[in-house]
Chain A
Amino acid sequence: MTEPIGQNNLSPEEERAWAVIEQFEKQSADSPPSFEVLLQYVAQDLRSTSVELLTTLESLDAVDKWRVAYLGRRGSLTTVLRGLSSLNVEDRRTIGAAANDTKKTLEDRLEVRVRQINEAALALSASQDRLDVTLPGRPALEGRLHPTTKIVREICDAFVAMGFGVVEGPEVEWDHYNFEMLNIPKGHPARDMWNTLWVDYQDQSGETPMLLRTHTSPMQARIMEGREPPIRVVVPGKCYRYEATDATHEWHFYQVEGLAVGEGITFADLKGTLFEFARRMFGEERQIRFRCDYFPFVEPGVDMSIDCFACNGDGDGCRICRDSGWIEIMGAGMIHPRVLEGVGYDSERYTGFAFGMGPERIAMLKYGIDDIRHFYANDLRFLRQF
């Protein structure tokens, strides 16, 4: 052992350990030590002082030095075994066995001590380097879609699952598609149902036929003109009306239009499709109800309600359904034969249904939003809630 294990002052244990080794080295400096001295050293003194020293070591570093000093290639125990040549075979075997026994003991103790030190270090770290786990984490990037985008996707997805495709159409439209093809000719009183924003554009005959579409329904004619049945599509998109805004009315809003045309499509199919939609959107237990309503491009025309999900159709004192137990969700109907004939379909052969709903209204119901004007005011404090 050439250098001390501890840093400065030697501990009593280390001093004792040193003393034992020094004494042994002194005894064997001139002549090989006797069998008795060797046995005493290997089986007793070296063993007890080294074990004693080990228990006082606190760092892995110190323990490693201890290991090198006693168990290393040039360690005390190894050195002893090299100096056995003067002994007879039996003595050598005895000392060898004792040395191995000591080695085994030291190795065992070393393992224990290392474990103890590691555990102590961890315990110390747990108490001293503890994180305040209640502190907020590093903020992750946070971006969200607009609630209208989300609800439009949700609506479209419900219909896609029933075999509908999704298409879009122009927001600036011709009177022809917005009204005339939908069985609303010029001068028709039903035009009062859609207060229109007209584009400042005159054609050669001095008419102003360009407008901001008042509904997504012009796509009915555009889609049917472009292909033959069977057709099953939904059409989301923006619509515009010349209308004052209040808590339930926006001049700029979205609609999702739906259209199914083919042979043998019936009002019962319309009911089934919309029933399925209501269940997907508002819960499996939903009921639906129709009442007669009027849109010039359908006949019969209806308005669909769902039973109120807030009060389960109870009605009394419910703010969502205003005591009625039912909430109007959308308009619908069987496509008017004049609309079918307008696009060149044989109305004797094909039937179809159409429906249209306001995603903002559905979002308001789902999220309990009390004022539609929140949607397009783009206040981040509102938008970040979705």
Chain B
Amino acid sequence: MKVPLSWLKQYVDVDLPAKELAHLLTMAGTEVGEVQVIGGWSEVFVGLVKDVRPHPNADRLRLCVVSTGAEAMEVVCGAPNVAPSQKICFAKVGANIFDTHSGRYEILEAATIRGVESQGMICSAQELGLGDDHSGIIVLPNDAPTGTLLDEYLGDTVLDLELTPNRLDCLSVLGVAHEVAALTGKKVREPESSYQESGIPIAEQVKISVADPDLCRRYTASLLQGVKIGPSPQWLQDRLTRAGLRPINNVVDVTNFVMMEYNQPLHSFDYDLIKDATVIVRRARPGETLTTLDGVVRKLNTENLLIADANDPIGLAGVMGGANSEISNGTVNVLLESATFNGPNNRKTAQSMDLRTEATLRFEKGLRPELAPIALRRATGLIQEVAGGTVAPGIVDIVSSEGVDAPVVRLSVSTIKRMLGMEVKIEQAQETMDALGFTWETTGEGELKVTVPYWRNDVNIEEDLVEEVVRIIGYDSVPTTMISSPIPVQQPVPIMQLRDQVRDLLAASGFQEVINYPLVTLEQLEQVEQLDPSTLPLRVANPMSSDREYLRTTLQASLMANLASNQGNSAGPFRMFEAGRVFLPREGDLPDERETVSAVLAGLRHEPSWLEDESLLDFYDAKGVVEQVLDRLGVAATYEPFDHPAFHPGRCAKINAGDVALGVVGEIHPSVMSRVGLEQPQVAAFEFDLDSILSVLPESRQQFESLPRYPSATRDLSLIVPAGVAASQATELILRHRGIDRAELFDIYAGENIAEGSKSLAFHVYFQARDRTLTNEEVNRSLDGLLRTLERELNITMRA
């Protein structure tokens, strides 16, 4: 909303600098985004064109004699519309104007154009920064005072308001005037809206009925006869252009002007085009259409509210008029409408037709019905003033059963204290109400009955009035205290704790956390997992772009992309993880948002260094991290070979705890790598489902285990193991053996000296008794037993 100060000052005195006013408004809730200064041209004056002659050396140029009263100067002008006795904007040497060639403001210098010296310049709108028009010069009204500085005559300051949706009132200049008055202690001057009526009363000339009063709380109309359509006077055009509206003709301009002044959208119909002089406010009938003013044929539905004549729609109520009843240059009689339409219905219609007009911006927020006749009278008087004609006596005023009473809201100082934690005296509340234009009466000790003025639609309950009080007296006056009630007991959320713990563990293991958009493409998801065609991932109905369309069901896809986008910057190591949610669709419900942690590892195992080798991260790096994390969480996990479409066949394990699947670890499938564009010899990855881990977390995380009091005995076992037996099977069997405390696998070998179809595993095995030092004999006996078991169960033998 652009509010020119010149217009604002019509209703309220402003003696503060614009910046200070902007600050006051901003702090009170009407944010001023920009204070725009029109002017600053300095040496530009209102000039009178005395004479226009052809340029001796150029056909398109003219020589003009321009008077500023005190002096007359000769200038060269190329504008086609320059003519003698025009009032124009004359820039003298030294003026600060926009140079259309350089594209910036420059100080005007004397110039010789085609052999004739020009002592200044007659300006276009573009050269003064008043618009984009550079096709001709600006022609000022005849009454413009010659010799006046243009900064004084045309200069202005425009406040560009960034309004919140509740403050409908500040979409109007009068509404802003009320706000300014309240903040600066001034009084508002309401505009004059009286006019003479004559002829046949309106009631005898037009039949108006409201068939759907639920969507039209009030409908008022007046009738002007014998008007002359034409351009508006300059003052009216200036008002509109500075507020950002385009002048059209005098009648339409008045309706727009009054809308900007009072907020009430009005519509003018060509009375003679209304069939049977009958106006019906009704819902559209099935199949009805209307060609709106913009020439578009609108198909209507039965929730669209129409203004119709005896037969056809003539306007889309509160949105846009119909072309069939439009004011034209030939219009003589004007039916003027000022109504209160239902906000949500109006908004729905406008949205469904993608027609957000200045009218709908106001109607949708719910205009007050008291406003309709006030604005109608104001507009009627103004039209008569600028377009002549007579006004038929009376107005049409149809009010629905809802009535038009102003809201009355209670305000007590005890509520103010309860909300703000601060004492406000009743007198102070009364003063604030007065300043804002609210009326009140005292209904008891410290209690008021407040009537909300017609321009405010946002005050309905006592809390709203409390805000009015505090925003006017200022938030700085509210004390600063801490909540006095006891602190409630706070239970930590286990899944959040677990996620944070895993985050910290991974960061400590050298992983960089990333955070990705959860919207991805279906292809991305398909690349890393088998999608079930019956429950596809959730899709956004209105995606911003095709690459952000589906809610992810795995974090892997994005991590692959992260790796791909970073791999060009270094040789690694790349260790990245994300802790975020995946979204698994559920029938008829919100998706299951599973807390998931996923990681990728690729590139060099160590930061490049003169001390380190150049080995690459692989499956066992990933698994080592998985083991460490689960170990730290106290989860006893097992790993089984697993076929997963995203992982390298034979290099992937499912992570289990008992029969609960916790996740997967492996090396990425080469074809996935090439599809994603990963230029790495190998990429390892893992993904955990945190909710599953949470379900297997031990009750109490950790129990102290007493330290052994006797020394352990160590034996190195070099075993020949059939190739089909997994290392974990051998290890488990060894650990299950009585007297063995732990076993460390320290070597794996296959090849020379080992029979085909088998491999050699070497373990350090530790024997330990709780109550004594084991003798050699005891250890040997235990070892013999172990070897027998190994042979019997897994066909494992000692290496010779």
Bound together: yes
Residue numbers of A with Cβ under 8 A of B are: 135-139, 141-146, 148-149, 153, 160, 162-168, 170-174, 185-190, 192-193, 197-201, 203, 208, 210, 212, 230-233, 238, 242, 244, 251-252, 260, 262-269, 271-273, 275-276, 289-294, 296, 299-302, 334, 336-337, 351, 375-376, 378-381, 383-384
Q: Are A170 and B590 in contact (CB under 8 A)?
A: yes
Contact of B483 among A136, A149, A262 (CB under 8 A): A262
* Least CB separation from B351: chain A residue: A187
Give the shortest distance, in Å, between B616 (CB) and chain A (any CB).
16
Chain A residues with CB under 8 Å of B166's CB are 190, 294, 296
Q: Are B485 and A263 in contact (CB under 8 A)?
A: yes
Top-4 shortest CB links A-B: A266-B421, A292-B29, A268-B421, A187-B344
* Least CB separation from B418: chain A residue: A351
Report the separation of the CA atoms of residues A312 and B515 in the bound assembly, to the nearest whole angstrom: 33
Contact of A187 among B347, B421, B512 (CB under 8 A): B347
Q: Are B463 and A238 in contact (CB under 8 A)?
A: no
Chain A residues with CB under 8 Å of B113's CB are none
Contact of A380 among B479, B512, B544, B610 (CB under 8 A): B512
19 cross-chain CB contacts under 8 A: A135-B610, A143-B511, A166-B492, A168-B493, A170-B590, A172-B591, A187-B348, A187-B364, A197-B544, A238-B518, A251-B544, A266-B481, A268-B422, A269-B483, A272-B480, A273-B483, A290-B475, A300-B470, A378-B514
Report the separation of the CA atoms of residues A168 and B595 in the bound assembly, to the nearest whole angstrom: 12
Is B745 close to A, CB under 8 A? no
Chain B residues with CB under 8 Å of A172's CB are 538, 551, 583, 590-591, 593
Give the shortest distance, in Å, between B465 (CB) and chain A (any CB).
10
Q: Are A383 and B512 in contact (CB under 8 A)?
A: yes
Contact of B541 among A188, A199, A296 (CB under 8 A): A199
Contact of B480 among A265, A275, A376 (CB under 8 A): A275
Chain B residues with CB under 8 Å of A299's CB are 461, 463-464, 466-467
* Least CB separation from B484: chain A residue: A264
Report the separation of the CA atoms of residues A144 and B513 in the bound assembly, to the nearest whole angstrom: 6
Report the separation of the CA atoms of residues A300 and B461 in the bound assembly, to the nearest whole angstrom: 11
Q: Are A376 and B516 in contact (CB under 8 A)?
A: yes
Report the separation of the CA atoms of residues A137 and B565 in the bound assembly, to the nearest whole angstrom: 29
Chain B residues with CB under 8 Å of A300's CB are 419, 463, 466-467, 470-471
Q: Are A166 and B538 in contact (CB under 8 A)?
A: no
With known contacts A268-B420, A291-B29, A165–B490 Cβ distance under 8 A: yes
Chain B interface size, under 10 / 10 to 19 / 20 to 34 / 35 or more = 35 or more
6 extra interface residue pairs, beta carbon distance < 8 Å, beyond A212-B540, A380-B576 = A200-B541, A201-B538, A230-B488, A269-B484, A379-B569, A380-B566
Give the shortest distance, in Å, between A299 (CB) and chain B (any CB).
4
Q: Are A376 and B517 in contact (CB under 8 A)?
A: yes
Give the shortest distance, in Å, between B748 (CB) and chain A (any CB).
25
Report the separation of the CA atoms of residues A149 and B422 in the bound assembly, to the nearest whole angstrom: 38
Chain A residues with CB under 8 Å of B167's CB are 294
* Least CB separation from A251: chain B residue: B544
Chain A residues with CB under 8 Å of B464's CB are 299
Chain A residues with CB under 8 Å of B551's CB are 172, 199
Chain B residues with CB under 8 Å of A273's CB are 482-483
Is B58 close to A, CB under 8 A? no
Contact of A143 among B484, B507, B544, B606 (CB under 8 A): B507
Chain B residues with CB under 8 Å of A334's CB are 419, 463
Q: Counting chain B CB atoms within 10 Å of each CB, which of A135, A291, A381, A383 scores highest?
A: A291
Is B609 close to A, CB under 8 A? yes
Q: Are A351 and B509 in contact (CB under 8 A)?
A: no
Report the separation of the CA atoms of residues A127 and B487 in the bound assembly, to the nearest whole angstrom: 66
Q: Are A289 and B476 in contact (CB under 8 A)?
A: yes
With known contacts A172-B591, A200-B541, A268-B480, A186–B475 Cβ distance under 8 A: no
Contact of A267 among B470, B574, B611 (CB under 8 A): B470
Q: Are A189 and B347 in contact (CB under 8 A)?
A: yes
Contact of B419 among A141, A200, A275, A351 (CB under 8 A): A351
Contact of A189 among B343, B418, B593 (CB under 8 A): B343
Q: Are B610 and A271 in contact (CB under 8 A)?
A: no
Q: Are B463 and A336 in contact (CB under 8 A)?
A: yes
Report the separation of the CA atoms of residues A263 and B488 in the bound assembly, to the nearest whole angstrom: 13
Chain A residues with CB under 8 Å of B511's CB are 143
Chain B residues with CB under 8 Å of A198's CB are 540-542
Contact of B612 among A139, A173, A193, A264 (CB under 8 A): A139
With known contacts A193-B165, A376-B517, A268–B478 Cβ distance under 8 A: yes
Is B409 close to A, CB under 8 A? no
Report the separation of the CA atoms of residues A324 and B677 in the bound assembly, to the nearest whole angstrom: 48
Give the shortest distance, in Å, between B612 (CB) and chain A (any CB).
7
Chain A residues with CB under 8 Å of B54's CB are none
Q: Are A378 and B593 in contact (CB under 8 A)?
A: no
Chain A residues with CB under 8 Å of B516's CB are 376, 378
Give the shortest distance, in Å, between A305 (CB) and chain B (any CB).
10
Q: Are B515 and A149 in contact (CB under 8 A)?
A: yes
Q: Are B512 and A144 in contact (CB under 8 A)?
A: yes
With known contacts A143-B507, A144-B507, A294-B167, A163–B419 Cβ distance under 8 A: no
* Least CB separation from A141: chain B residue: B510
Give the shortest distance, in Å, between A342 (CB) and chain B (any CB).
14
Is B225 close to A, CB under 8 A? no
Chain A residues with CB under 8 Å of B278's CB are none
Report the separation of the CA atoms of residues A251 and B517 in the bound assembly, to the nearest whole angstrom: 9
Chain A residues with CB under 8 Å of B548's CB are 251
Give the shortest distance, in Å, between A252 (CB) and chain B (any CB).
5
Report the separation of the CA atoms of residues A379 and B565 in the bound assembly, to the nearest whole angstrom: 8
Is B533 close to A, CB under 8 A? no
Q: Are B488 and A143 in contact (CB under 8 A)?
A: no
Q: Are A267 and B478 in contact (CB under 8 A)?
A: yes
Is B575 close to A, CB under 8 A? yes
Is B26 close to A, CB under 8 A? yes
* Least CB separation from A347: chain B residue: B463
Is B296 close to A, CB under 8 A? no
Contact of A230 among B418, B486, B566, B588 (CB under 8 A): B486
* Least CB separation from A153: chain B residue: B500
* Least CB separation from B517: chain A residue: A252
With known contacts A189-B343, A197-B540, A293-B29, A146–B610 Cβ distance under 8 A: no
Q: Are B482 and A272 in contact (CB under 8 A)?
A: yes
Q: Are B165 and A192 in contact (CB under 8 A)?
A: yes
Q: Are A145 and B513 in contact (CB under 8 A)?
A: yes
With known contacts A163-B488, A267-B421, A292–B467 Cβ distance under 8 A: yes
Chain A residues with CB under 8 Å of B475's CB are 271, 289-292, 302
Chain B residues with CB under 8 Å of A242's CB are 542, 544
Chain B residues with CB under 8 Å of A135's CB are 610
With known contacts A174-B590, A199-B541, A291-B27, A146–B515 Cβ distance under 8 A: yes
Is B539 close to A, CB under 8 A? yes
Report the separation of the CA atoms of residues A189 and B574 in the bound assembly, to the nearest whole angstrom: 48
* Least CB separation from B511: chain A residue: A143
Chain A residues with CB under 8 Å of B487's CB are 163, 232
- List which B494-525 residues lie within 8 A (CB) of chain A: 496, 500, 503-504, 506-519
Chain B residues with CB under 8 Å of A231's CB are 488
Chain B residues with CB under 8 Å of A142's CB are 510, 607
* Least CB separation from A138: chain B residue: B611
Interface string of B323-356 (1 = CB under 8 A from A): 0000000000000000000011101100000000
Chain A residues with CB under 8 Å of B610's CB are 135-136
* Least CB separation from A174: chain B residue: B590
* Least CB separation from B579: chain A residue: A149
Is B543 close to A, CB under 8 A? yes
Is B629 close to A, CB under 8 A? no
Q: Are A210 and B590 in contact (CB under 8 A)?
A: yes
Contact of A149 among B26, B164, B503, B538 (CB under 8 A): B503
Q: Counting chain A CB atoms within 10 Å of each CB, which of B28, B507, B548 scores highest?
A: B507
Q: Are A266 and B569 in contact (CB under 8 A)?
A: no
Is B562 close to A, CB under 8 A? yes
Report the separation of the CA atoms of residues A379 and B568 in the bound assembly, to the nearest whole angstrom: 11
Q: Are A187 and B343 in contact (CB under 8 A)?
A: yes
Q: Are B348 and A268 in contact (CB under 8 A)?
A: no
Q: Are A232 and B541 in contact (CB under 8 A)?
A: no
